[in-house]
Amino acid sequence: MSVQTWTWILVGITFALYFGIAIWARAGSTKDFYVAGGGVSPLANGMATAADWMSAASFISMAGLISFMGYDGSVFLMGWTGGYVLLALLLAPYLRKFGKFTVPDFIGDRYYSNTARTVAVICALIVSFTYVAGQMRGVGIVFSQFLQVDINLGVIIGMAVVLTFAFLGGMKGITYTQVAQYCVLIFAFMVPAFFISMQMTGNIIPQIGMGGEIAEGVPLLDHLDQLHTKLGFNEYTSGTKSTWDVFAITLALMVGTAGLPHVIVRFFTVPKVKDARKSAGYALLLIAILYTTAPAIAVFSRTNLIETVSEKQYSEIPEWFKNWENTGLIAWADKNGDGKIQYVAGSALDGKPKYTNERGAHGERLVSNAKATEMNELYVDRDIMVLANPEIAKLPNWVIALVAAGGLAAALSTAAGLLLVISTSISHDLIKKQINPNISDKGELKWARISIVFAVVIAGLFGIYPPGFVAAVVALAFGLAAASFFPAIILGIFDKRMNKQGAIAGMIVGISLMLIYMIVYKTGLIGVMEPLPKSEWWFGTSPEGFGTIAMLVNVVVSVIVSRMTAPPPQDVQEMVENIRIPSGAGEAVAH
Amino acid sequence: MTDKQQRAKAYWKENLRYLLILLSIWFIVSYGCGILFREALNEFKLGGFKLGFWFAQQGSIYVFVILIFVYVRLMNKLDKKYGFDE
């Protein structure tokens, strides 16, 4: 059977499964809708958290990104896993004990202030929208590549699917579909990895194969380092970023992970404090399976790519190369006219390939933007690594189709989780807690459903008309979360003296500082200014790593302001004492 | 101070001590072995891996998982010790 037929079959089966679950897990109350009734088992919640967490970016782009970054890619590996340690030790158990529905709930009650709640809602919306905009685009790209439809149609199909299970089931529907999606995506990620590891190193476990030897008795990583040095790249295992920048980015990603509202809210869905701790452990274990495999895939595919193309005649290159050239993810410009592919350090083209619709002397697609000053002749899109891996390794068609189903599962589960946070912010934190406190449970549920439709439509529009800055800012959502929520929550639990003035000042200063740095050094202001260059960075900190500094500033401002103003009232101090002990968490209570 | 408040205070103190120890390990494996001291550790080998590189791309993640499960065990015991389990 062809890849296309297999893809339709596997995607069809998995989608039928998701819809079946969504109908079975319909939500009857706001508690079902926001926190799945608070009755999810720790393992199921761990699986759902893992699926929620691992987006299309983790599934498709991360291994490719690492394979081009080498050691520098470690920032993602450590940053996106280490945050769970913070979450499990510093946040999840206490927030579960607190026992409300959302992060702004906690901020609003702990800091006895609707202003604090509003600031938190605004931060939650900024963080979630930056994040979801990238996801919807991802959904569109995955659909378009695998089902051969237009990207915009892909986004619309994705919107319809997410809307169905989120609208019907709320958190309950999303949680149980995410459990299924985790199974699909991890299976789809691991099967090709096993095959390739076996082929290259003779060891079926990729984590071990990565440190294994290739046929000649040379360690694979040393071999790759030598290839890199020979072609003028930095050693794969060394990287190019400064130690401080690696440190700052890793910390910003870790703290940001622990501060993302769609991750935190998952720990409200388990019955007890004990379960919240355990559930964070399961979540990280399940995430770690993918995150320790990705660097192995990166090494395998990097070695494979170099060995397949470097100094080879274009006319003798395997079929997959030409297929991806046709889809626009690979381009070759024969600068020295020798008919061979020179793949060395430096960028081959000025940005993405601009094809001229003509074919060159060897049958390659000609590009108009080759950089004559660089020796490198090959452009490779980093997303290709996971997608092309099964083809490069000549795996059976069903494995290639499986990757499609896995990519879709990853993209949909993350988008759904984020959309729920956005709709909860609107229906619960804004309407119920601020505009109309007397609204009935049924009325609130209706608003929750209306706002999810609203959120899906906005996110879809972002996906169809992506603002130029989206790709640039998705990584910065972590910096924003690190600079705003994380200190406010941590101090709220661990510093009894922290009061509303301190927390509000800290959050506002932190998120503003991060936004300003982002605009000045990363996105620029359209029509007003271009982003400033690297040489101007504060202490050599990249915008991705700046969340670390903004977070520290937040903490300092919070502490100083709180010590200069009145301590929090007695009942709030008692509340803090109460969330520090685990017993008597009860259910996630409605108010 | 009531008995419950005293227990809560002692419980919190022990909890903070656990956090300090576990988070130190968290910091050392990732920021220490994986980032700050990786050059020195790269002189050593673990199978085909340079040790610093292994910590950055594999080892620290394994340690993170273990840390959380150790924490779960320690806290479950602590809950029992002070009568806060359920």
Q: Tell which residue, A10, A82, A80, A17, has the closest CA to residue A52.
A: A80
Q: Does the structure show a pLDDT above 70 at A427? A: yes
Chain A positions touching B38 (Cβ under 8 A) are 71
State both tokens at A7.
């893809």
Q: Which residue, A405, A537, A541, is CA-closest to A8?
A: A405
Cross-strand bridge partners of residue A378 = A332
CB contacts, 8 Å: A212 with chain B:
47-48
Mean pLDDT of chain A: 85
Residue A326: the pLDDT is 80
Grade residue A549 by pLDDT with cuts at 50, 70 and 90: very high
pLDDT at A286: 95
Report yes or no: A138 and A162 within 8 Å, Cβ to Cβ.
Answer: no
Partners of A380 in the β-ladder:
A330
* CA of B10 vs chain A CAs: smallest distance (Å): 11
Whether A360 shows a pLDDT value over 80: the answer reads yes
Q: How confident is the model at residue A278, as a pLDDT?
A: 93
Per-residue confidence (pLDDT) for residue B1, from 0 to 100: 67
Please enumerate, as own/partner, the contacts of A526-531 that have beta carbons within 8 Å and a separation of 24 or more: A526/A468
A291 close to B (CB below 8 A): yes
The mean per-residue pLDDT over the stretch A443-454 comes to 86
A220 touches chain B (CB under 8 A): yes
Residue A530: count of CB within 10 angstroms of its CB: 9
- Name the strand (E) or helix (H) holding A359: strand A355-359
Residues of A in contact with B83 (CB under 8 A): 583
The reported pLDDT for the residue numbered A4 is 82
Q: What is the DSSP string of B15-26?
A: HHHHHHHHHHHH
Å from B13 to nearest chain A CA?
11
Return the pLDDT at A249. Answer: 92
- State the residue for tokens 């529009």: A461
pLDDT of residue B62: 97
Please provide residue A439's backbone torsions phi and psi, each rounded to the nearest 5 degrees. -60, 140
Beta bridge partners of A379: A331
The per-residue pLDDT for range A106-130, each reduced to its tens digit, is: 999 999 998 889 888 888 888 888 7
CB atoms B26 and A280 under 8 Å: no
Phi and psi angles of residue B81, each rounded to the nearest 5 degrees, phi first: -55, -40
Which positions ≥6 away from B58 have C-beta within 8 Å?
A: A207, A210, A292, A295, B49
Q: Checking phi first, is residue A113 left (phi over 0); if not, alpha (psi -120 to 50) or beta?
A: beta
Mean pLDDT for the stretch of residues A477-495? 91
The answer to whether residue A153 scores a pLDDT higher than 90 is: no
Is the separation of the CB atoms in A239 and A71 below 8 Å?
yes
Using one digit for the tens of pLDDT, what is the confidence trace for A180-189? 999 999 998 9
Task: Name residues 65-124 of chain A within 8 A of B (Cβ).
Answer: 66, 71, 73-74, 77-78, 81-82, 84-85, 88-90, 93
* Residue B54 at interface with chain A, using a CB cutoff of 8 Å: yes
Segment A217-245 shows an average pLDDT of 88
A239 and B CB contact within 8 Å: no
Across A169-173, A561-565, A578-582, least confident range: A169-173
Instruction: Determine whether the interchain pair A211/B71 forms a contact, defined as Cβ–Cβ distance below 8 Å.
Output: no
Nearest to B34 among A78, A207, A221 (CB): A78
Find where tokens 């699926």 sit.
Answer: A51
A477 touches chain B (CB under 8 A): no
**Residue B45 near residue A207 (C-beta atoms within 8 A):** no
Give the residue from A72, A234, A237, A493 with the most B CB atoms within 10 Å of its CB, the best one to mutate: A237
Nearest to A178 by CA among A46, A335, A28: A46
- Substitution target in A65, A67, A71, A226 with the highest count of B β-carbons within 10 Å is A71
Contacts of B67 in chain A (CB under 8 A): 85
Residues paired with residue A331 on neighbouring β-strands, in sequence order:
A379
Instruction: Output the pTM of the full model.
Output: 0.90
Structure tokens at A256: 């940001």
Contact status of A285 with chain B (Cβ, < 8 Å): yes
* Residue A589 reports pLDDT greater than 60: no
Q: Encode A116-134: b = buried (16+ Cβ within 10 Å), e = exposed.
A: bbbbbbbbbbbbbbbbbbb
Confidence check: pLDDT of A527 > 80: no
Confidence of residue A370 (pLDDT cuts 50, 70, 90): confident
Is B51 within 8 Å of chain A by CB? no
If pLDDT is split at 50, 70 and 90, which confidence band does A585 have?
low
Three-state DSSP at A532 gives coil
- Using alpha carbons, select from A248, A250, A256 the residue that is nearest to residue A487: A256
**pLDDT for residue A590:** 42
pLDDT at B27: 96
Chain B neighbors of A78, CB-CB under 8 A: 30, 34, 56, 60-61
Q: CA-nearest residue of chain B to A91?
A: B19
How high is the ipTM of this complex?
0.95
What is the mean predicted confidence (pLDDT) over A422-433? 83
B57 in A contact zone (CB under 8 Å): yes
Give the gap in angstroms from C-alpha A35 to the nearest C-alpha of chain B. 21
The interface residues of chain A toward chain B in range 505-534, judged by CB-CB distance below 8 A, are none
- Of A378-392, A400-414, A464-478, the least confident: A464-478
- Name chain A contacts of B31, Cβ cutoff 8 Å: 247, 250-251
Partners of residue B64 in chain A, C-beta under 8 Å: 81-82, 84-85, 284, 288
Distance of residue A43 Cα from the nearest chain B Cα, in angstroms: 13
Q: What does the pLDDT read at residue A167?
A: 77
A535 touches chain B (CB under 8 A): no
Which of B72, B81, B82, B85 to mutate against chain A (most A CBs within 10 Å)? B72
**CB spacing of A210 vs B71 below 8 angstroms:** no
Residues in B closer than 8 angstroms to A295, CB to CB, are 57-58
**A82 vs B60: CB contact, 8 Å cut-off?**
yes
Position A346 pLDDT exceeds 90: no
Does the pLDDT value for residue A143 go beyond 80?
A: no
Average pLDDT over residues A327-347: 85
Q: How many CB atoms lie within 10 A of CB A167?
A: 20
Q: What is the pLDDT of residue A472?
A: 58
pLDDT in tens, A9-58: 998 899 888 888 888 887 777 877 777 777 788 899 999 999 988 887 78
Share above pLDDT 70 across residues of chain A, in percent, rounded to a whole number: 96
Contact call for A77 and B57, based on CB within 8 A: yes
